Amino acid sequence: MKKIGVFTSGGDAPGMNAALRAVVRGCIYYGIEVYGIRYGYKGMIEGDIIPLNSHSVSNIIQRAGTVLKSARCQEFREPEGRKKAFDNLKKFGIDALIAIGGDGTFTGAKVFFEEHAIPVIGIPGTIDNDIYGTDKTIGFDTAVNTALSAVDNIRDTADSHDRVFFIEVMGRDSGYIAIQSGIGGGAEMVMVPETKTTINEVIEALQKGWSRSKTSSIVVIAEGDEEGNAFEISEKVKARVKDLKDIRVTILGHVQRGGTPTAQDRILASRLGLSAVEGLRDGKSGVMVGVINDEVTFTSFGDSITKQKPLNKDLIRMVEILSI
């Protein structure tokens, strides 16, 4: 293995740049040439490929987003597109790949690896934390802290009035951000896609708080909740509780994708980036690198894509007990 190509794909996550930096410097340390493929699979097909050196990744460890950019790519879903991509890699002499991204990225990498037998290792980067094979994904800790900071701000003002606040955080298929920011922010209720929460249960939780003379309440909602988005849920609650005058809604949206990565995200990203290089050197391929119980582990793309990482039920239980 002499030349590694590295790229980011799918939604960006804070810490991706730290992972890239670790890949580049890990390669240099081991005497491997390293190329950056810009705009993910799209750049691979179009040959948007540039050599990287130590300076290329100076001063990016603290920056969100991805300096290699990211893009969607329909063409890579077709064998012809992948053929073109592979030809480009050959042209540059790239004989192994590191793919930083989420489920969709790994699905592409798996097919590509099976079709063209080029060694690939994936690094899990997504704020949603919904990837099997690693305790945490890059970007998750930052996103939770961003969401938490919003909950904190609302709690500052909530304390001064009688109000119900609904805060919608990210997580279309996964309640990780909602549950952690909900516990961390002392929310009265958390609604996640993994468990069914009815509007009546929300109302009960709110009423329990009022009966203890809480002056205001916070409900954190993951965007993928089956009862709808935060506006819809707030309307449903309002419709059933009379005299509920003051309801306010916050939709955080992509605010959660940005922000300076936290220490844990940078350290995780650095560790995964370096381990991906070392994994390729050790002959590993078709796998995603992760950290489980503070140990570096490798999981087949197949498992990482199809297996479910369950939400810690202990945390769901805590929301109820701690909002007493």
Active site residues: 128
Tell me, residue by residue from 211 to 230, as one string, x for binding to a second copy by CB under 8 A and - for no binding: -x-x----------------
Q: How far is the CB of 154 from a second copy (least distance, A)?
A: 5
Q: How far apart are CA 274 and CA 267, in angstroms?
A: 11
Q: How far apart are CA 310 and CA 175, in angstroms?
A: 10
CB 148 within 8 A of CB 184: yes
Residue among 12 and 48 whose Cβ is closer to a second copy: 12
Q: Nearest Cα to 11, choosing from 75, 62, 70?
A: 70
Q: How far is the CB of 244 from a second copy (least distance, A)?
A: 15
Tell me, residue by residue from 40 to 79, as one string, x for binding to a second copy by CB under 8 A and - for no binding: --------------x---xx-xxxxxx--xxx--------
Residue that has been written with the tokens 């007493």 in this structure: 324
CB 88 within 8 A of CB 47: yes
270 binds a second copy per the rule CB under 8 A: yes
Does 72 appear as a known binding residue? yes
Residue that has been written with the tokens 């949603």 in this structure: 128
Q: How far is the CB of 182 from a second copy (least distance, A)?
A: 10
CB 209 within 8 A of CB 188: yes
The token pair that represents 202 in the structure block = 């929300």
Does 271 appear as a known binding residue? no
Does 184 appear as a known binding residue? no
Residue that has been written with the tokens 């039920």 in this structure: 313
CB 124 within 8 A of CB 102: yes
Residue among 117 and 292 whose Cβ is closer to a second copy: 292
Look at strands 287-292 and 295-300 and give their pairing.
Answer: antiparallel
What residues between 175 and 204 interact with a second copy by CB under 8 A? 180-181, 183-186
Numbered residues of the known binding site for Mg(2+):
103
Q: Which residues are annotated as a binding site for substrate?
A: 126-128, 163, 170-172, 223, 248, 254-257
Binding residues: 11, 21-25, 72-73, 102-105, 126-128, 155, 163, 170-172, 186-188, 212, 214-216, 223, 248, 254-257
